[in-house]
């Protein structure tokens, strides 16, 4: 018992001695911690100081130290002030640990630091952005999702920033997207009056909508689907085997359309041919088709010998013959429509039935024609393009985005409905659509993903329905079956034509001529 009592007393004495030693050296530990904080702060300030300002800053610091030394008791007072400041900065409650920095604060601070070189002014007396500033002085609000990714941000910028120049805007948008993550799309809303920029991350569009009959009015073509901001209505669709409502991107064609022709540009493998097939399947029940496959890849072989498809051409000679016929057919339709209008009778059914000219990669044929010394097939499109709306002739052209400079001026001037598919930079998207994008494209996009602009409206996001080539054995069987179900047969084509005739009969009271 006495041995245990002696051991316990020895441990208590040792613990008491340790506590006295800790209490003795506590002020030194406190001051040492504060001095380290001061040293780290000075090092950070020196690293943040621009190189051209380091010389004057060092000179002013040396002058201040010299002035303090020359003062009576200046050195003593400065040491006392330094020790007191270090003790105050180095204080920390007993048992407390240094707080871990918040990941959101780190991301916002990094974004603020990245924007500072572009938004800081050297002569600004009260800068929003400075190298030693805090992000809370410029960022008004922000929002993160459950995975810690930035989904919304509102930031202020100085009034002297050139927010009216596309180049300056693109530089800021690129910095924001780089720090927030390039895997998503971002919409940038520039408020020039208030000098504020609102950034919002956009949710990905649905990619599991296959080719199917869409609920639309006559003359309406569903180019694809977008988000709630890009469309004012929704239509029922079969999305992955489940009924859903999705906002469509609708292109209105016909005699009263302000944008009667369409130009689609894209990167190879990102869905321009699928877009043509989707348009063909929607137009075939109530119109006739002429298909020109300039690439000669057989992407549209599924339309050969289908009711309503006049021809599917892949050679230069066949394409020129088909386009020459289309130009003559446009003139014939105009003459018949004018005659019927002057005579006060209903126009014949064969001139009011829509005629669609679908051209896939026509610039390939233009290069062949140039090499053989033949006329450019694009020149044969001038009559259908300029008079197609009155003659019920619609032209749809799809080509590679790298070939946009080889597209004829007539095609570029008359195709006011535009689509761009695949990954693209803001500069390329602006050249294809005609206006700058207020959306920063993602680095990687699925097939059929892009943007659409109908006439003078703002560009909207677009996801083309999965309309695969049914003759492609590598395509999923479910998607191939969906396209095959939409291909017209003689019975379905006759039924659709009879319905159209009956509707016109009931609306006009005149017995029209049958289509077939």
Annotated binding site for ATP: 266-273
- Straight-line distance from the first to the last Cα atom of the chain, in angstroms, rounded to the nearest whole number: 118
CA distance 208 to 205: 9
Burial class of residue 453 in the structure, from the number of CB atoms within 10 Å of its CB (0-12 exposed, 13-18 middle, 19+ buried)? buried
CA distance 339 to 110: 71
Q: Do the Cβ atoms of 331 and 383 come closer than 8 Å?
A: yes
Burial class of residue 106 in the structure, from the number of CB atoms within 10 Å of its CB (0-12 exposed, 13-18 middle, 19+ buried)? exposed
Sheet with 248-252: strands ordered across: 248-252, 220-225, 460-463, 449-454, 417-421, 262-266, 393-400, 355-360, 288-293, 309-313
- By three-state DSSP, how is residue 141 classified? strand
φ and ψ at 491, to 5 degrees? -65, -45
Q: Is the dihedral of CA 395, 398, 403, 405 positive or negative?
A: positive
CA distance 471 to 297: 12
CA distance 206 to 215: 18
For 213-270, the three-class secondary structure string (H helix, E strand, C coil) is CCCCCCCEEEEEECCCCCCCCCEEEEECCEEEEECEEEEECCCCCCCCCEEEEECCCC
Q: How far is C-alpha 181 from the geometric centre of its chain's CA atoms?
A: 13
Instruction: State how far the alpha carbon of 403 is from the alpha carbons of 76, 265, 381, in Å.
Output: 77, 9, 18
Sequence-ordered list of residues with C-beta below 8 angstroms from that of 274, at least 6 positions apart, any chain: 447, 448, 464, 465, 466, 467, 468
CA distance 446 to 423: 9
The angle subtended at Cα 405 by Cα 415 and Cα 448, nearest 5°, is 60
Token pair 């569009």 is at which residue?
Answer: 205
CA distance 288 to 366: 25
Give binding residues as ranges.
266-273
CA distance 300 to 440: 33
């Amino acid at each position: 018992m006495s041995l245990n009592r002696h051991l316990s007393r020895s441990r208590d004495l040792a613990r008491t001695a340790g506590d006295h030693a800790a209490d003795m050296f506590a002020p030194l530990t406190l001051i040492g911690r504060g001095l380290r904080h001061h040293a780290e702060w000075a090092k950070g300030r020196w690293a943040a100081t621009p190189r051209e300002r380091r010389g004057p800053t060092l000179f002013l610091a040396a002058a201040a130290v010299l002035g303090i030394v020359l003062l009576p008791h200046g050195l003593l007072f400065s040491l006392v002030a330094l020790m007191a400041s270090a003790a105050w900065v180095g204080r920390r409650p007993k048992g407390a640990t240094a707080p871990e920095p918040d990941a959101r604060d780190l991301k916002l601070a990094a974004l603020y630091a990245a924007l500072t070189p572009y938004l800081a002014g050297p002569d600004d007396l009260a800068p929003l952005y400075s190298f030693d500033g805090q992000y809370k002085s410029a960022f008004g609000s922000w929002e993160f999702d459950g995975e810690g990714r930035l989904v919304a941000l509102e930031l202020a910028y100085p009034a002297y920033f050139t927010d009216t120049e596309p180049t300056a805007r693109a530089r800021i948008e690129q910095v924001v997207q780089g720090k927030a993550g390039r895997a998503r799309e971002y919409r940038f809303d520039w408020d020039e009056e208030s000098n504020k920029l609102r950034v919002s991350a956009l949710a990905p569009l649905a990619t599991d909508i296959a080719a199917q009959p869409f609920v639309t009015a006559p003359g309406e073509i569903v180019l694809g689907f977008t988000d709630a901001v890009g469309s004012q209505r929704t239509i029922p669709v079969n999305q992955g085997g489940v009924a859903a409502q999705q906002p469509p991107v609708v292109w209105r064609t016909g005699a009263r359309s302000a944008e009667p022709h369409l130009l689609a540009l894209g990167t190879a493998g990102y869905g321009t041919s699928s877009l043509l097939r989707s348009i063909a399947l929607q137009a075939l029940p109530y119109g006739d088709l002429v298909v020109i496959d300039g690439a000669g890849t057989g992407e549209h072989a599924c339309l050969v010998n289908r009711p309503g498809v006049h021809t599917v051409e892949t050679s230069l000679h066949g394409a020129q013959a088909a386009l020459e016929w289309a130009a003559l057919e446009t003139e014939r339709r105009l003459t018949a429509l004018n005659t019927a209008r002057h005579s006060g009778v209903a126009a014949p059914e064969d001139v009011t039935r829509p005629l669609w000219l679908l051209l896939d990669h026509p610039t390939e044929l233009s290069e062949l024609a140039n090499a053989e010394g033949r006329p450019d097939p694009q020149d044969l499109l001038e009559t259908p393009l300029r008079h197609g709306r009155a003659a019920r002739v619609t032209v749809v052209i799809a080509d590679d985005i790298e070939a946009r400079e080889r597209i004829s001026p007539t095609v570029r001037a008359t195709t006011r409905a535009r689509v761009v598919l695949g990954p693209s930079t803001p500069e390329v998207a602006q050249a294809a659509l005609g206006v700058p994008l207020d959306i920063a494209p993602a680095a990687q996009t699925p097939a059929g993903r892009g943007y659409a602009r109908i006439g003078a409206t703002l560009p909207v996001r677009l996801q083309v329905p999965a309309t695969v080539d049914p003759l492609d054995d590598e395509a999923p069987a479910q998607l191939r079956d969906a396209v095959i179900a939409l291909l017209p047969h003689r019975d379905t084509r006759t039924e659709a034509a009879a319905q159209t005739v009956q509707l016109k009969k009931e609306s006009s009271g005149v017995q029209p001529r049958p289509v077939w």
